[in-house]
Structure 1
Amino acid sequence: MTYRTARRRFIGLTSSMALIGVLTVAGTYTQAAPHPGAYNVFPMHHFWDDLQLQTMPGDTWERLRDNLQWQHRRQDARVQQWIEHYRSNPANVVEIIERARPWMAWINEQVEARGLPGEIALMPFVESSFDPQAQSHRGAAGLWQFMPGTADALGLSRQSGYDGRLDVVASTQAALDYIELQAEQWYEGDLELSLAAYNAGAGTVNRARHAAATRGEPSDYWHLQLPGETMKYLPKLNAIAAIIADPDAYGVKLPEIDDAPAFAKVPVDKPIDLAQLANLTGMRHSDLTALNPGLTNGSANPSTAEVMLVPVEQEEAVLAELSSPSPGGVPDSDRQHFVQRGDNLSAIATQHGISVAEIRQHNGLDSDVIHEGQVLSIPRRSLAAR
């Protein structure tokens, strides 16, 4: 069973009982997108449209449909209500799904590899409108809307320059681990109850089940009395799955997405400045930052991030640059300054024999404010003159 596999991974990281203790009272409590379009922060034109991807033929939607397992839920009145809600504004549904394009095939692969229902790959639609940088008013963040405490318990670090909740690869793995772990620990493999616990916390779900049993009522998700947000959670998920299963019936035109991931994972073996890497490989800086929302200060450091994501067609160029010696490759650490506690731009400029204005311009800084752990690139001109 995949649940046991996930459990073993967690035991290797921390005490299982300690982790369960934290997660019992945790939950995303997010419902970050109460309706499609709640995160309409991006234009309809997406950076992914401009990439000439060379991926294997196939359709990620067909692959997803093959993995859907909860079709019988679509007849439930609550699911039908949300189907009607979504179909009333298909443009918003399409906009959210467009935002999923960089991530959908890869997330689908991860869900399929664990033998989980395909519906789970659509959870970010409900959680965050597929916005990797979504922030809820309660403090949850990322595609999977992890609260800080839950993220900490699951090993998603939050440090200067990096937020694991925004890292799509790390947060997806953590979310799927979390779902499997709770299903095994509390619900004898019942994933619907685990999803309810993902939203409301296992403690809330377990109390509701106990109350139902006391009343002599069924204790599955569809018969429980849970917080309103959680009662809507699975109906929403099943509703969007129904639309994905038969988009023509609901007036929705899905974007074409190949079933091979459109990004590659590149190991972070040394500090990498995203702006300079983009310049050296001919990528747009905005494309690289969009793929790496977890890198919050514009750089990747092996102390915080194991991998960074690049468009699959740029993988070879990026690996070549990262392995090339100076001066052709990405600047080595002797041309970077790692900001320490107490550093300021004036002192750093004096140390490297350049002006504050040069550092600001070279690093795209709008002010003199810098942060501990930040990586500043030092212009080559100063090094040649030293």
Structure 2
Amino acid sequence: MASAWTSSQAAPLPTDGRYATDSFASVAPHQHLTSHFWDALELEPQDVWTNLRSDFRWQDQALNARVQEWIEYYQSSPENVAEITERARPWLAWITQQVEARGLPGEIALIPFVESSFDPKARSHFGAAGLWQIMPRTGDALGLKRNGSWDGRVDVVSSTRAALDYIEMQADEWYDGDLLLSLAAYNAGAGTVNNARRAAQSRGLAGEYWDLNLPGETMAYVPKLIAISRIISDPEQYGVALPDISGSAAFARITLDSPISLTEAANLAGVTTRELTELNPGVKSSTVDPRHARQLLVPASSADTLRAQLTAPLSGDTQLASNDSGMHIVEQGDTLSRIAMLHSVSTNDLARWNGIDDPQALRPGQRLTISGS
């Protein structure tokens, strides 16, 4: 079993026993771009820990000896708890909102703590990836696309929705709504859990999670989750300092209908390329291509700026010149990505056709071909 603190190799690992449909919302784009803020449950302006604690439901099980063992383990290294919860900063409020909107226990929002140490780029030696550590074939079954430009298992929004779908579906299909058993199946697969239940029932037990004889990492899976939630419920008691994290989602989603490079989008939004790269770990290239990924996550405070830049109309004279001659005349404030969107071409093609190595070097009056001919 891998260390509970590992960020580059998460433990325990999911299995290919996961089956669910991906309920990722589709949003029809406007002419060039639509900005969409998740219609998640609106929370009072408070920190994420207050919101999370109000949704905890399994705290009475913290007295279990197996849970106490993990409480002591985490308590022995409070700096590691603080580091992992700091890493959760961009994601935890949004994940908490998704869990709450489904009526699930708040503890489930902390599964990425156990799975990946809240590192969306975490990958195991067995091929599991992302906050929720989803295996390749499992991701395929969940409807998470994978190709050279995109990995939906690593995208936080799509993988979160798929993982929560799976947990709910397994609980309903196999376990009469018992979420602890569903979490065991998330780790070990439904076949392993069902066999363990039958064995427990043959011994006269009820077949609940705590009755089962499971693989070692699955035996520790739920205790770890409840242990860390117990510490978060009263960090002072356990000598842990949690970072201040807002209860509002840290990002907004922008839906694109034309390719845009992360660098161009960052410049338009007034943020760094690194910030956008970290918010979009599912993007495997320098450009977000709507054929593979329609959404770009941006800091919530920058979404309006990016939308305004990308939807700002060009002047009538410029549009006329473009339409009549197959050329575009650069105006003050133009960017390569906005010009590409206006003419429904890719930013990379536009740069190649015009021999542009530095997209920031555009100058007013410059004439760009928009067809490559």
Q: With structure 2 as the length reference, what TM-score do the two structures score?
A: 0.78
Contact 1:335 1:379 in 2 (8 A): no
Residue 126 of structure 2 corresponds to which residue in structure 1? 138
Q: CA deviation at 1:215?
A: 2.4
Q: Deviations over 1:38-77 (max 9, x none)?
A: 449xxxxxxxxxxxxxx97311101111100001110011
Contact kept in structure 1, 2:260 and 2:289, CA below 8 Å: yes
Q: How far did residue 272 of structure 1 move?
A: 1.5
Identity among equivalent pairs (%): 53
Asked if the contact 2:270/2:302 (under 8 Å) is kept, the reply is no
* Contact 2:7–2:118 (CA under 8 A) maintained in structure 1: no
Instruction: Return the alpha-carbon distance in structure 2 between the equivalents of residues 324 and 76 of structure 1.
Output: 59
- The alignment status of 1:299 with 2:268, answered yes or no, reads no
| Residue type of the alignment partner of 1:240 | I
* C-alpha distance in 1 between matches for 2:219 and 2:212: 8
Give, in angstroms, the shift of residue 383 of structure 1: 6.2
Specify the alignment match of 2:4 in structure 1.
35
The answer to whether residue 141 in structure 2 is matched with residue 172 in structure 1 is: no
Q: Quick one: distance in 2 between partners of 1:34 and 1:149?
A: 24
> 1:129 offset after TM fit, Å?
0.2
8 A Cα contact 2:6 2:116, kept in partner: no
How far the C-alpha of 1:212 sits from its partner, in A, is 1.5
Could you tell me how far apart the structure 1 residues matched to 2:6 and 2:291 are? 36
- Give yes or no for contact 1:335–1:378 (8 Å, CA) kept in 2: no
2:88 is the counterpart of 1:100: yes
Distance in 1 (alpha carbons) for counterparts of 2:276 and 2:179 = 35
Displacement, 1:378?
A: 11
Shift of 1:158: 0.5
Residue 210 of structure 1: CA displacement?
Answer: 1.3
Q: Indicate the residue corresponding to 2:110 in structure 1.
A: 122
Contact 1:213/1:219, CA 8 A, preserved across alignment:
yes
Question: Aligned partner of 1:254: which letter?
Answer: L
Shift of residue 79, structure 1, vs aligned partner: 0.5
Count the aligned residue pairs: 312
**1:142 shift after superposition:** 0.2
C-alpha distance in 2 between matches for 1:170 and 1:113: 16
Distance 1:165 1:120 in 2: 18
Change in CA separation of 1:132 and 1:38 when aligned onto 2, cut-off 3 Å: closer
Q: CA deviation at 1:384?
A: 3.6
Aligned letter for 1:165? R
Structure 2 distance, partners of 1:155, 1:136, is: 20
Tell me by how many angstroms 1:302 deviates.
Answer: 1.6
Cα deviation digits, residues 125-165 of structure 1 (max 9, x gap) = 00000000100111000000000111111111102211001
Residue 205 (structure 1) aligned to one of 174, 177, 193: 193
The answer to whether the 8 A contact 1:37-1:96 is kept is: no
Shift of 1:87: 0.6
Q: CA deviation at 1:296?
A: 1.1
For the residues of structure 1 that align with 2:296 and 2:3, how far apart are their CA atoms? 31
Alignment of 1:336 with 2:324, yes or no, is no
Superposed CA offset, 1:155-210 (max 9, x none): 11102211001110100000100000000000000000000000011011111111
Aligned-CA RMSD value:
2.4
CA contact (8 A) 1:264 1:310 kept: yes
Quickly say closer, same or farther: Cα 1:56–1:296, change in 2 above 3 A.
Answer: farther
Query: Equivalents in 2 of 1:276, 1:56: separation in Å?
Result: 34
- 3-state DSSP class of the match of 2:248? coil
Corresponding residue to 2:46 among 52, 58, 67? 58
Distance 1:310-1:289 versus aligned 2 partners, 3 A rule: same
Aligned to 2:298, the other structure's residue is in SS state strand
Report the equivalent of 1:152. Answer: 140
Where 1:166 maps in the other structure, the secondary structure is coil
Q: Secondary structure of 1:317's match?
A: helix
Identify which of 59, 70, 86 aligns with 1:71. Answer: 59
Residues 360-375 of structure 1: matches in 2 within 5 Å? Answer: 362=358
Deviation at 1:262, TM superposition (A): 1.3
Structure 1 match to 2:181: 193
Counterparts of 2:367 and 2:132 in 1: how far apart (Å)? 44
More moved, 275-284 vs 226-235: 275-284
Asked if the contact 2:258/2:346 (under 8 Å) is kept, the reply is no
Q: Is structure 2 residue 245 aligned with structure 1 residue 276?
A: no
The aligned counterpart of 1:9 is: none
Distance 1:104 1:121 in 2: 7
1:288 partnered with 2:299: no
Question: Deviation of residue 335 (structure 1)?
Answer: 5.5
8 Å contact kept, 1:179–1:195? yes
* Letter in structure 1 aligned against 2:5: P
Q: Does 1:317 align with 2:305?
A: yes
1:252 aligns with 2:220: no
Which moves more between the two structures, 108-117 or 296-305? 296-305
Bigger drift between 296-305 and 155-164 goes to: 296-305
Alignment partners' CA distance in 1, 2:214 and 2:93: 32
